[in-house]
Structure 1
Amino acid sequence: MNDETDTRAEGTIDGITVWNGERSLGPSRITWRGDTIEAVEPATERFEGLAVIPGLVDTHVHLDTSVLDGSGPGDAWPLVTPDEEKALHVAGHAQRFARYGVTTLRDLAASPVQIAVGRAFDQGVIAGPRLLSNGPVGMTAGHGDLFTPPRFRDRPPVADSPDECRRLVRQWAREGATGIKIYTSGGILSMGDQVGWRNQTRAEIAATVDEAHALGMLVAAHSHSAAGIDIALAVGVDSIEHATGLTDAQLPALVEANVSVAPTLLVNDIVAAGGGGVRAESAEKAREAIADRDPAFLRAGRAGVRFVLGTDANGRFVGHGGQLEEVRLMRRAFDWSAERTLVASTSDAAASVGLAGRVGMLAAGFAPDLIVIRGRPWLDIDDLQLSNIVAVVSRGRVISGALPVRER
């Protein structure tokens, strides 16, 4: 945000128990100015039953849909809506997610539209949460390409050789993307795609990862297959998205590499159930993809795989506020404590997208992104409910509810 805006944004929360992203600090006083917390200090409890936690970090969203009804890839909406109008919908999605406590989002498979909106948020042109954007590098007839109907000629860019992959990475870097997304398997919602299809050659994928890392960009790999996870690990990606084909044999390598995994539990369950505009083809693919997921994820969670909050939310299948349900599902899916689950949704999620030291924690020098909530969600994750949220602060400003004030 610009300096003029920063000088006006300041606040204090005094006498509420703080969970700082790792542990409970007890009753505390948090003060901030602009987009920076100045201090978190012990205080006398004044508001019993309330707590303050960091804003959630969703590492995998898609904001390229209509904010009105979720129309998006696979519909006519993205084909006929000009970028100038799409930008308003991207901003609307981000603002709505933030009001439900998700103060940092990463759009995977972004376009220049999402990049521009994120930049406008950062510069204070319009109010909004932190929005990171990963530019996609995929092949012709790959998962990313097949969200656009095959006979529509105005298509997002693809890359079909190692040199084309490097060039596209450089173009995304020039555009201002904060990371790159690749595909090491087919997908579920793409049209005519099969999960088991190879997406790009090993040489193409390796070139993309090498070029992205050379330019300081993190790489997220979409994968729904065991083979895709093997490729992602071999080329040194920074995160794996979905990972529904995970096998026990891959657990030691995942734990050793400390690669984060976004499980996207809720969306795959919803699509597998069918109905609500889900194509029959997609529902069947989702059912096959998650057939062995739950026991595999349970073993992975117990083995120490680094799952972080990532939902695939786009305002349609996973709507605004759906992240809270995803967090509750994560605790049960991985057999974690409530606190371990909340770490994966705040401080560790922030670290996984390159924001360690800036968001996901409540401490001096960090961003004042936080939720005031009834209950103790680090002790009972079921307290993490929309009805319990009292206020949300993003970039130091109250964007939902109101900070509690004790009557004299």
Structure 2
Amino acid sequence: MSEQTTLRNVRLWDGTEDRGPVDLTFAPEGQDGVVVAIAPAADPSATEELAVIPGLIDTHVHLVGDAAGGSAGFLTWPLVTRPEERVLHGLAHAQRALAAGVTTVRDLSADDIQFSLRRGLDAGVVTGPRVLAHGMVSMTGGHGDLFTPAAVAARPPVADGPDACRALVRHWARAGADGIKIATSGGVLSVGDKAAWRNHTPEEIAAIVDEAHALAMPVAAHAHTAAGIDVALDHGVDSIEHATLLEEPQARRIVDAGLTVAPTLLINDRIAAGIGANAEQAEKAAELVERRDALLRAAADLGVDFVLGTDANGFHVRFGEQMDEVRAMARTFGWSAQRALEAATSRAARAIRRDDLGRIAEGGPADLLVVRGRPWERIEDLRPSAIVAVVARGRTAHGALGER
């Protein structure tokens, strides 16, 4: 095997536990890269200055948005920017996430732009994180549809009625989607929307989930309210996104079902504060976050498996701010540093059905961060400024390893 790199006498946290000082060898073998060997450090008496942790996984992002900081607003930019340009902005966002330690992202409102970007990354044409991409099935006037103003004729696809819902799931499967996104409540940034509004009928949701599962695609459900969460659980979705008003009965159902939840804390805090939001959006977010923290803390105490999901869009939450979200989760849920780091690594990997990611093990994928500090002991150490190098698919994608 060629191009092997060995990190000598580094402290290893492997995604679940502290392994102490090790010599770790990896190589860019195959599509994933590989961890070739992990052995006790040959010279354990030497001071371990650096540590190695798995690359972070953000289970909920939206890659395609303005990465140049232009004057167009969040909702306006997609309407005035050609698809060819949007691919480049999505790549810029992906690379910013990678430089900040995020080696895998899941885009939860994808189309041919994200599918094309993912294929280019997988082929090694460009450098960036792993990308998983879910196509959204929205109804006319639903959360997804309401991101496009009513007067705009060119709209993303929607589906009304069970047969149309099945057809749109099949469309996304043919296009190359890794999964499906639905909404079982309204949203915050969507224009004229209300969080409490129903999205789709039970028959439509049943058709979406059944068709997605028949095609081996997981379903992620956007749901802010307890009622929306109940609808998602009733129909057997695979993850819950936001869960802002999660109450005890729904929390217990989530625990029993073994599902993960991405709480997306920072984005709703910022919208509620009016950052990058109009008065309608800020009011909707404020109504949600007023009760959120106490409800989610109680759910965490009941055992709900919260994982890293930022809803980063480059506007309200920027790519590269994922570690800020992890620290916010630790504060909100009263977690230890290790539990918070698990939410961004090994537990997040389960949410995206890639249990081989989010861990560092012999024979496993070589996605890892070389950092200063001990973030599994002190969550304050989890900052981009502490990153020495980012290794993605067995290659140094950011920073430098030096002569090790």
TM-score band w.r.t. shorter chain: over 0.9
1:292 alignment partner, SS class = helix
Aligned-partner Cα distance in 1 for 2:39–2:139? 52
| 1:281 paired to 2:280 | yes
- Give runs of aligned pairs for residues 10-89 of structure 1, distance below 5 A: 10-34=4-28, 35-43=33-41, 44-45=43-44, 46=46, 48-69=48-69, 74-89=74-89
Identity %: 55
Q: What residue number does 2:314 align with?
A: 315
State the AA in 1 paired with 2:15. G
Do the aligned partners of residues 346 and 260 (structure 1) sit closer, same or farther apart at CA in structure 2, a change above 3 Å counting? same
Report the residue type matching 1:389 in the other structure.
I
For 1:61 and 1:8, locate their aligned partners in 2 and report how far apart those are by CA, in whole Å: 34
Gaps of 5+ in 2: none
Deviations 1:178-227 (A, max 9, x none): 01000000000011111111111011011101110111101000011110
| Number of the residue aligned with 2:334 | 335
Q: Match of 1:370?
A: 368
1:396 aligns with 2:390: no
Residue 58 and residue 47 in structure 1: after superposition, are their counterparts in 2 closer, same or farther (change >3 A)?
A: farther
Corresponding residue for residue 204 of structure 2: 204
Deviation at 1:8, TM superposition (A): 6.4
Q: How does 1:3-402 map to 2 (within 5 A)?
A: 10-34=4-28, 35-43=33-41, 44-45=43-44, 46=46, 48-69=48-69, 74-275=74-275, 277-357=276-356, 359-402=357-400
After alignment, is 299-308 or 39-48 more displaced?
Answer: 39-48
Distance 2:140 2:70 in 1: 26
Cα deviation 1:119-146 (Å, max 9, x = unaligned): 1100111111100000000100101001
| Counterparts in 2 of 1:163 and 1:47: CA distance versus 1, 3 Å | farther
Alignment partners' CA distance in 1, 2:309 and 2:249: 23
> SS of the residue aligned with 1:17?
strand
Helix, strand or coil at the partner of 2:140: coil
SS at match of 1:28: strand
TM-score between the two structures when normalised by the length of structure 2 = 0.95
Distance 2:121 2:347 in 1: 23
Give the match for residue 3 of structure 1.
none
- Structure 1: 4+ residue segments shifted above 6 A: 70-73
Mark the CA change 1:404 to 1:174 in structure 2 (over 3 Å): closer, same or farther.
same
- How far residue 10 of structure 1 moved from its aligned partner, in angstroms, is 3.6
Distance 1:293 1:92 in 2: 32
What do residues 5-63 of structure 1 show as CA deviations (whole Å, max 9, x unaligned)? xx765422111000000101111111122111111121134552321000000000001
Superposition RMSD in Å: 1.5
* Stretch deviating more after TM superposition (73-82 or 47-56): 73-82
SS of the residue aligned with 1:398? strand
Classify the secondary structure of the residue corresponding to 2:151: coil
Amino acid at match of 2:23: R
Q: Which amino acid aligns with 1:203?
A: E
For the residues of structure 1 that align with 2:57 and 2:371, how far apart are their CA atoms?
Answer: 16
Note if contact 2:74-2:315 (Cα within 8 Å) is conserved in structure 1: no
- For residues 156 and 70 of structure 1, the distance between their equivalents in structure 2, rounded to whole angstroms, comes to 23
Deviations 1:279-308 (A, max 9, x none): 111000000011111111111111110100
Q: Which amino acid aligns with 2:398?
A: S
Aligned residue type for 2:340: T
Over 3 Å counting, the alpha-carbon distance change for 1:152 and 1:309 in structure 2 is same
Matched residues in 1 for 2:390 and 2:71: separation?
Answer: 27
Q: Could you tell me whether the CA contact under 8 Å between 1:73 and 1:148 is conserved in 2?
A: no
CA distance in 1, matches of 2:232, 2:294: 22
Shift of 1:76: 2.7
* Change over 3 Å in CA distance of 1:207–1:118 after alignment to 2: same
Decide whether the 8 Å contact of 2:65 with 2:74 is kept in 1: no
Does the 8 Å contact 2:21/2:48 carry over to 1?
no
Q: AA paired with 2:342? A: V
Aligned partner of residue 91 in structure 1, secondary structure: helix
Q: For the structure 1 residues 377 and 74, does the alpha-carbon distance in structure 2 shift closer, same or farther, using more than 3 Å as the test?
A: closer
Q: Would you say the 8 A contact 1:70–1:314 is kept in 2?
A: no
Q: Which runs of 5+ in 1 are unaligned?
A: 1-6
User: Residue 263 and residue 182 in structure 1: after superposition, are their counterparts in 2 closer, same or farther (change >3 A)?
Assistant: same
How far the C-alpha of 1:82 sits from its partner, in A, is 1.6
Per the alignment, residue 4 of structure 1 pairs with none
What one-letter code is carried by the residue in structure 1 that aligns with 2:260?
S
1:216–1:15: structure 2 CA closer, same or farther, 3 Å change rule?
Answer: same
1:405 shift after superposition: 3.3
Could you give the per-residue CA deviations for residues 261-281 of structure 1, whole angstroms, max 9, x where no partner exists?
A: 000001110111113x31111
Q: Is the 8 A contact 2:75 2:147 kept in 1?
A: no
Distance 1:171 1:220 in 2: 17
Change (3 A) 1:72 1:356: farther
Q: Distance in 2 between matches of 1:49 and 1:249?
A: 46
